[in-house]
Structure 1
Amino acid sequence: MSRARTLEQVLAGVHAAAAGRMGLLHLRGPRAIGKSALVGRLCDEVRDEADVLVTTCRSREGFAAARGLFGAETVDALLTAPDEFARRHALNDLVAGRTADRPLVLVLDDAHHCDSATARWLSALARRIPQPRVHVLLVYRCSERVAAQAVFADLTGALDATSVDLGPLDESDVAELLARECGLVPERELVLAALEATAGLPAVTSSWAEKFRVLGTAPDVEAESAAWHLAWLEDQPEPTRAHATAVAVLGSAEPTSAATLAGISPAAAALIRTELTAVGVLTRSGRFRSASLRKRLLDAVGPDELCALRTRGARLLTDEGRGQEEVAELVVTLPALTEAWMTCALRGAARAGSLRPELAISYLRRVLDAVPGDVGTRLELATQLTAVDPSAAVDVYTELLSDVSSPDDRASVAVRCGAVALRAGRGPEAFRLLGGLFADSGSDRFPVIDPDFRAQVGAMALVNGFSSSATVGQAMDLARGITPPRGRAQGGRRLVQQLARAEVLRGESLSTALAHLRSALPAPGGERELWDVFPVTSLHFCGARAEAMTLADEIVAAAEGSDDTQMRKVALAVRAGLAFEAGELFDAERDARAALAIAGHDGDCAAATVLASVLVRRGDVDLTEQLFERMPAPRDPVEYGWALDAKAHWLWNRGDGDSAIEVLLRCGREFDEMGVHNPVLVPWWLHVVTVLVRLGRFSEATEFAERGADAALRWDTPAARGYALYAAGVVTTDVEPLKQAVVELGAAGAQLDEARALVALAVMLMRTGDDKTARKHLRAAMDIAVRCGSTLLANRTHELLTAAGGRMSAVHTSPKDALTAAERRVAALAADGLTNREIAERLYVTIGTVESHLSSAYRKLGAQTRAELAAELE
């Protein structure tokens, strides 16, 4: 290759020699980097203007290098002089004669082996001959820099010496090589790929180019490069090989530790590192460039020696105060952990939190191999497993419960076990385990325990029990026998939240559920946690929908502020459910999709069931079917009921009324088996009534309407009363219950149910000939359906309105249709660029009202800025 810049420096020295200025150039580089090729190129370049004499220094015998340059017979004839001064003078005369017509270039390869007599003669030549027309080129390996500089110290001091470090081929060299070998002008990406693969090693780069020419694609030459480097290392002095092995053991070439492990000085290690970097063995950061080469170096070391090196290396890193992760990388490779500091290093690295969970787990398993049964290590292992293998974490926690002696510690392990069991889908067995532990607390089997710890165990037992239809009934039985703890300690609040949940599922005592909830709600303005999603849903089903939505908004905001993605995912899914229940389909879909977009499985089922429920209300049969195919298995009774309800609506939309009824009846049967009797939780019975009436099966519908009415008497909320009145009205064709149902459902905030009641009321009025009043109710229902985004209900209402003699354009639903009139006015003014104060003055309202309407508009339209708001309103 050209090595253009380096060659220019050498030629400049030759030209200076021609003018009578002796020059000296140190040409350094690792073995096989192209030093000899450069010397050959030099001979070709200066053949017409200078003589070039080349020798390789191999002997320390006096004037051996000089013999190699000028010929043994010529030099030996001059060395017959009686003293060294005379011999040098004779050599000077020889040079003077050789340079009379042309300058002379003296090249000493492996110059660090040059004999001292020749070195002294060259320094004398530089000082004694006026205007010597000589240029000296000293060629040697980087690792021999110190030796070469020592040999030629006097010569270097006598001349203006120049040094050149010859490294791997650079980008322009590789580009030239590829152009020459492949007959093309290579793109820069190809040149960089070749450099990355070959480290610029001339021989390997040539091979890469040849393979590329044949294959037409970038070849893999890692094995070839590793073989080249390995052969190169085998040809190096022992210190270089030892240092490379030390770096392979330690993983990096930090000067102190690598030098100590190799048994060389830091200065020598620094020089060797420079050479190893130049030849491409190491990266600039001091790590092995090729994992294959590092492995082959380590494989070449005997097992016992390698174990000793790794042990010494780990101790060195520990003594230097290096991070436990670095120490652990060595310790984990040892065949056996024979000393306490080794297990401490692995546990410390796993505990640091910077390792991948899989790596931390492997470290902890190694510790347990050395110290079987260690409780602390098993706890740490279970914690790490939680992130990557929840089911395995449950097994570890379960085994630990029998080995932890302290009651409070045992309670802590039980709570952790319950939390991870939910993620692993093993709620039923965790419920049985924790439920038994809770029942035993205070007994000989599980003696004294902190009351709040006991409450946490009970709360976690109930959460797991409610996570599967198989154990919901048993969990409610357990809850029935628990006396609510007093105070606002964390465990107590969590337990009471679950007791409220049990009351809501049973649907027997609204007052008891509300009393539990009021005592378990988080303090106003206090921190919000993941557990607070439970009272959100309970508040909603107890009729406190506004309070539930406020708490849900606070949890979402807290999760966003703390960057807790798990809590945000679950809270968004819960808020989506509240929005759906209120008929806010746009908001429900937005939150459900946002929850599903967050990594992790917690909340996926709830979000998916809400999304399916939204899609069926819009009549999206195909999209709903696709969602059913990938929907996770429901766990919570509400999720389970919503999933079946969505399936029933989907079947009805497809025209299969009988199958829809069967799915709804299945929901009722399974709720009965669980002991879930709340009429508003999932009003399957009301949907059965509606479908049966539309199929003309009034007698069957009456039975379910009466059942709902009985349940509503026990759970006396506006929604329960509204559902019961709606059912009674459609089965009796009486307008009065329907009128009351509209009022109750409006008070409950169940907009779509209110719209359905309005439609049913209009149908009854049309049968009596009162089309005018029916049209009024249908227009009100149409407004609600469009605002909520229920295309299916809006289309049906439009058909009925047309049949009643009303006029209305075709139905179009979009997010902006969801805005109220006040929200639309405020949003339009904001989109025009008015400030909140200017909008308030224009509309004669307070700034707080403007902010409230704008906030709602932003949420419904999915906008973040006023520019986005304007775009959504176009």
Structure 2
Amino acid sequence: MRELLEREDDLAELDRVLARARAGTGHAIAVEGPGGIGKTSLLTAARAQGRDAGMLILHARGSELERTFPFGVVRQLFERAAAEERHFAGAASLAKPIFDLADNADESSYARLHGLYWLCANLAAEQPLVVCVDDAQWADEPSLSFLGFLLRRLEDLPVALLVGTRPRAEQESDVLRAIVTDPATRVLRPTALSGDAVREWVRKAVDDHAADGFCRACHETTGGNPFLVSELLHEVTHKRLRATDAEAAAVRALGPEAISTVVLQRLQRLPSDAPALARAIAILGEGARPPLAAQLAGLDPVAAETALDALCRADVITRDEDDRLGFVHPIVLAAIYHDLPAGVRRDGHHRAARLLAERGAAPEEIASHLALTAPRGDAWAVQALRAAAQRALILGDPAAALACLQRALEEPPPAETQAAVLHELARAEAQSGRPDAVEHFRAAMELAADAHERGQIAVGLARALKFRGDSPAAVDVLRQALAELDHGPLAEELELELVSSGYISLSARPLLAAEIAALEAPERAATQLDRLHLMASAFETVIAAGPCERSAELARKALGPEQPTDVSAGGHVFISAAGALMFSEGYEEAERAYDQAVSDARRRGSSVGFAAASSLRSLLYYRCGRLSEAEADATAALDLRNDVHGSQGYLACALNALVFTRLERGEADHELLALADDFFATQPTEDLPYSQAIHARGWLRAQLGDSEGGLEELLACGAREQLWGVGTPQIIAWRSSAAEVCLALGRLEQGRALADAELQLARRIGAPRAIGVALRAAALAESGERRIELLTDAVTSLEASQGTLELARARVDLGRALVRAGRRDAARDHLRGGQELALRCGASRLVEQAHRELLATGARPRRSAAASRDDLTPSERRVTEMAADGLTNREIAQALFVTEKTVETHLGRAFSKLGVRSRKQLADALAAVA
């Protein structure tokens, strides 16, 4: 590798990165430069260094032909590892469908990345890794997404990530540019060889006494490009040019523009079968296997092996340890490929596709060749392209599916399958967020053969319309499709989609008033449609401030066994029924439902399902006064906000829980307000749960000193809730929040009116926590004995609820009122009781308030440990509890979608705070601080 002559500094940097990876801290290097300028040679040297150091080498190379293979580069990287079942232990199993063509699992694309990360972690646990990808500018997008995913978690693994790519201007992928420009990536930009380096190379390869003028001509002709120098010296040797100043002109005649001709001339000098085999390999692309190349070239195995040997000895073809074929440089590939007439190339790709199909190749490999053929009305080609598109969707690459289906339409498909292909294209476009999806869904509906096919298409069209914010149009589409169908599974699916819109979309809700009003709750749930009706009836009872016993009863029936729990896989009914239970104060049953949904999401690796269920569970934990758990769930959900698509509305619940929890823990500041502002800037406002975010930001603004702005936002939250018909305070108690802000602003009558209205609604519902909250707000608008009377009633009501935090708050407020009335003995009892409850909840701010009030009564309370800096953080407590339950660090990391290093950090801090040295001591230590 003579081109390494001037790469000492770069090689030293590569060696440092490999050493850090061996020590357990991963790093990334991007080698960026034009083709032939040392990029590949540096990566080859790094691989050799890593192999010498006992590291496992995972290597892949992007190619123009394979850039449409979903996870094509990933499959190159992990091809050997995929043969060992043990490498897919734990969450790594989520990556298996990438390698197993028979696996049609429907997990999200995030689950694939999550699984690949853990596959990498499993391998790294056995041996430090070098993950090396060359020509990344031609890598497929899903593989690049994995490299980016790995990069963000690299420091926690003994892995060196090496990426070779063309300069930034030739990088079409935003994902690749993000990898190269990431602050964690060290970028090496090898320069062309100097005149001295080229002179040394010439004198070693051609003539020890080569003239300076001859060497200078070699440098000027090639520009110091190592590959061009190598090719030039090949030709100099073949032509037997003398390395004298007189021959410098002959060297200049062999300039870079003539290199392609030089390559082709060298090819023609080889045995007669070699050019045909080289052309077949050029059509098949990098990574071709010798038997297939021989078959495409029309050669028998013996002749093919002889030709292949000649091509390798002539430095045209490379053959790696896995028996994959490639070219010594992309320039050689391009020269041979583009020398073929266009028609010959197209026919070659069609024959290659057929041969691959006969050999059972991956659908995407077949499709990559069909994409380069001319349309010929071939029904087989259409079917093969559709199969590749389906596979791409399974692997979470709708863009690749889109390309396959567009090409299938160009073929074109037979008339009887035209609607089906358009439908599949529209689905791929919808998954990619393309606006053309709606147009193609409508075109497919026009060509559909019957009402059943139109109904199937209508489901996708309605979802696409909702995605772009046109829920009213979606409702029309669903109604029209339902009108054409009799009862049956498809009609039920359409009705599910229709009625569910009323619980997702603000604009669709009033349009569905008639359908919602006509809902009748069945006695039992025999079908998913029955469960929808039960869920809707439960929610309507909640919304209308009906009896909480009735709404809870309906929600319980709707939950039922053996139904999807993940919102990304048809679990909206389950999640919404659990929400109705929570809003009916059936907290224990709702918690069990959310636990099941979180568990299912972890098992499936569904970031969407995990974020949705965790968001709602965080709201439940807050309402029960379990602040540490509420913050842990809310943080875990919001940490995924850039990775999830389809659960953004639920994240509003996580924001609500996080804001109120941080306020109670005395940790709210303008940084938290900035997080809320960012949420408003990036999340959709059409989703009904969005009101939770408005409530949270309004209350936060008021607590941070902007009472007027906070009140305005709280009232806007109320107006939005009433717009879609919500009367209950059980979903959002915006009236009591606004009442407190009004009182702080001196607007007594407005505050009293808001509190009284909430109290009337809460009493009608019959939910003890809601009544207690409203009574406390009403009490704050009064004074003297009336305040004491209302607060006493609030305490009584809250004692019958699971609202521990609200009870603590009411008892502290009652103690304060009793202090003002001069009844210090009674005040101390309530203040101490409220402080203990607040301590149990982790409500530091309320603990300190109670402490100050107790001092005012003449008591000498101890300062509570609740405000101690040695408290476990919510994340530390979550991880520690899971460790106490017997989970390993790896199992905890996989369950929480974090890295093992994160788990280790949390556990290390928790061990120190709890004063324990082993996992065996954790359960007792946690019980002591509970």
TM-score normalised per structure 1: 0.65
Query: Post-superposition shift, 1:341?
Result: 1.8
Instruction: Give the aligned partner of residue 706 of structure 1.
Output: 756
- Is 2:360 aligned against 1:307? no
1:436 paired to 2:476: yes
**Change in 2 beyond 3 A, CA 1:417/1:439:** closer
Structure 1 counterpart of 2:389, from 344, 347, 350: 350
Specify which of 409, 432, 453 is matched with residue 490 of structure 2: 453
State whether structure 2 residue 529 is matched by structure 1 residue 479: no
Mean CA deviation greater in 552-561 or 512-521: 512-521
Partner-residue secondary structure (3-state), 2:683? coil
Q: Deviation at 1:398?
A: 4.8
1:363 aligns with 2:363: no
> Shift of residue 387 of structure 1?
4.1
CA distance in 2, matches of 1:743, 1:366: 70
C-alpha distance in 2 between matches for 1:256 and 1:781: 79
| Residues 1:586 and 2:628 are matched in the alignment | yes
User: Which of 681, 684, 689 matches 2:731?
Assistant: 681
Provide the identity percentage: 25
Instruction: Give the whole-Å Cα distance in 1 for the aligned partners of 2:440 and 2:536.
Output: 26
**1:628–1:320 CA distance, 2 compared to 1 (3 A):** closer
- Which residue, out of 531, 535, 538, partners 1:500? 538
**In 2: Cα distance, 1:264 partner to 1:717 partner:** 82
Deviates more, 1:225-234 or 1:804-813: 225-234
| Letter of the structure 2 residue corresponding to residue 500 of structure 1 | A
AA of the residue aligned to 2:694 = L
Q: What does residue range 489-528 of structure 1 map to in structure 2 within 5 Å? A: 489-508=527-546, 510=548, 513-523=551-561, 528=565
Note the C-alpha offset of 1:244: 0.5
Shift of 1:769: 0.5
Residue 782 of structure 1 pairs with residue 818 of structure 2: no
Q: Using CA pairs below 8 Å that are at least 6 residues apart, which structure has the higher relative contact order? A: 2
Please give the per-residue CA displacement for 1:213-234, whole angstroms capped at 9, x wherever unaligned: x99xx98645666847555325
Could you tell me whether the CA contact under 8 Å between 1:455 and 1:495 is conserved in 2?
no
Matched, 1:282 2:318: yes
Counterparts of 1:208-219 in structure 2, within 5 Å, are none
Q: Sort the Cα spacing of 1:204 and 1:505 in 2 relative to 1 into closer, same or farther, 3 A.
A: farther
| In 1: Cα distance, 2:422 partner to 2:922 partner | 52
| Residue 623 of structure 1, aligned match among 665, 671, 687 | 671
2:658 to 587, 596, 611: 611
- Between the aligned partners of 1:337 and 1:589, the Cα distance in structure 2 is 60
Distance 1:589 1:507 in 2: 28
Supply the distance in 2 between the matched residues of 1:806 and 1:421 (Cα, whole angstroms): 64
* Offset, 1:614: 2.4
**In the TM superposition, what is the alpha-carbon distance from 1:401 to its structure 2 partner?**
4.0
1:782 to 1:240, Cα distance in 2 relative to 1, 3 A? same
Q: How does 1:846-861 map to 2 (within 5 A)?
A: none
Could you tell me how far 1:776 is from its partner in structure 2?
A: 2.2
Deviation string, structure 1 residues 202-256 (Cα, Å, up to 9, x no partner)? 879979xx99xx99xx986456668475553254344212211111112254344
Q: Map Cα deviations across residues 50-99 of structure 1 (whole Å, 9 max, x no partner).
A: xxxxxxxxxxxxxxxxxxxxxxxxxxxxxxxxxxxxxxxxxxxxxxxxxx
2:749 partner letter: S
Q: Deviations over 1:272-327 (max 9, x none)?
A: 22333342523323332434432332211111222222233333334445443332
Give the match for residue 374 of structure 2: 335
CA contact (8 A) 1:576 1:592 kept: yes
Residue 296, structure 1, aligned to residue 335, structure 2? yes
Letter in 1 for 2:289: E
Counterpart for residue 15 of structure 1: none
- SS in structure 2 of the partner of residue 288 of structure 1: strand
In the alignment, structure 1 residue 240 sits paired with structure 2 residue 274: yes
Give, as a single letter, the amino acid of the residue that structure 2 aligns with 1:640: Y
Instruction: Give how far 1:741 is off.
Output: 1.1
- Alpha-carbon distance in 2 for matches of 1:508, 1:474: 22
| Equivalent residue letter for 2:592 | T
Whole-angstrom distance in 2 between the partners of 1:390 and 1:616: 41
Q: 1:469 aligns with which of 490, 501, 506?
A: 506
Q: 1:655 aligns with which of 697, 705, 711?
A: 705
Look up the match of 1:269: 304
Distance, in Å, in 1 between the alignment partners of 2:438 and 2:204 is 54
Aligned amino acid, residue 358 of structure 1:
A
Shift of 1:869: 5.8
Counterpart of 1:583, as a letter, is G
1:556/1:568 contact within 8 Å kept: yes
Separation (CA, whole Å) in 1 of partners of 2:264 and 2:670: 62
Q: How many residues align?
A: 640
2:458 to 402, 414, 427: 414
1:566 pairs, out of 585, 608, 616, with: 608
- Offset from partner CA, 1:791-849 (integer Å, 9 cap, x none): 33333333333333333344544798689xxx99x99x9899xxxxxxxxxxxxxxxxx
Q: Contact between 2:615 and 2:634, CA under 8 Å: does it hold in 1? A: yes
Which structure is larger by alpha-carbon Rg, 1 or 2?
1
**Within 5 A, what are the aligned runs for 1:45-60?**
none
1:45 matched to which residue of 2? none
Structure 1 contact 831–866 (Cα < 8 Å) conserved: no
Q: Which amino acid aligns with 2:774?
A: A
Q: Partners in 2 of 1:555 and 1:639 — Cα distance?
A: 18
Which of these residues, 810, 813, 816, is aligned with residue 760 of structure 1? 813
1-side partners of 2:264 and 2:924: how far apart? 67
**Which amino acid in structure 2 is aligned with residue 239 of structure 1?**
D
The CA deviation string for residues 1-28 of structure 1, in whole angstroms up to 9 with x for no partner, is 99xxxxxxxxxxxxxxxxxxxxxxxxxx
C-alpha separation between the residues in 2 aligned to 1:505 and 1:203?
84
User: Per-residue CA shift, 1:466-507, capped at 9, x if unaligned?
Assistant: 334333344455412333466421233134323432332332
Residues 236, 304 of structure 1: alpha-carbon distance in 2 compared, 3 angstrom cutoff: same
The change in CA–CA distance for 1:408 and 1:786 in structure 2 (over 3 A counts) is: farther
Give the superposition deviation at 1:392. 4.9
Q: How far is the alpha carbon of 1:402 from its aligned partner? A: 4.4
One-letter code aligned to 1:771: R
In the alignment, the residues of structure 1 paired with residue 837 and residue 230 of structure 2 have an alpha-carbon distance, to the nearest angstrom, of 72
Q: Deviations over 1:441-484 (max 9, x none)?
A: 664xx24241x533432332233343343333444554123334
The whole-number CA distance in structure 1 between the counterparts of 2:537 and 2:806 is 29
Q: Residue 365 of structure 2 aligns with which residue?
A: 326
Identify the residue that residue 109 of structure 1 maps to in structure 2: none
Greater CA drift, 594-603 or 358-367? 594-603
C-alpha separation between the residues in 1 aligned to 2:827 and 2:611? 43
CA contact (8 A) 2:367 2:384 kept: yes
Gaps of 5+ in 2: 3-186, 207-214, 232-258, 887-909
Deviation at residue 650 of structure 1 after TM alignment: 1.8
- Please give the alpha-carbon distance, in whole angstroms, between the structure 1 residues aligned to 2:204 and 2:844: 66
Gaps of 5+ in 1: 3-188, 833-856
Shift of 1:386: 4.7
Inter-partner Cα distance in structure 1 for 2:855 and 2:834: 14
Letter in 2 for 1:642: Q
Q: CA deviation at 1:350?
A: 2.2
Instruction: Assess if the C-alpha contact under 8 Å between 1:619 and 1:653 holds in 2.
Output: no
Residue 772 of structure 1 aligns to which amino acid in structure 2? D
Q: Shift of residue 624 of structure 1? A: 0.9
Is 1:434–1:458's contact at 8 Å kept on the other side of the alignment? no
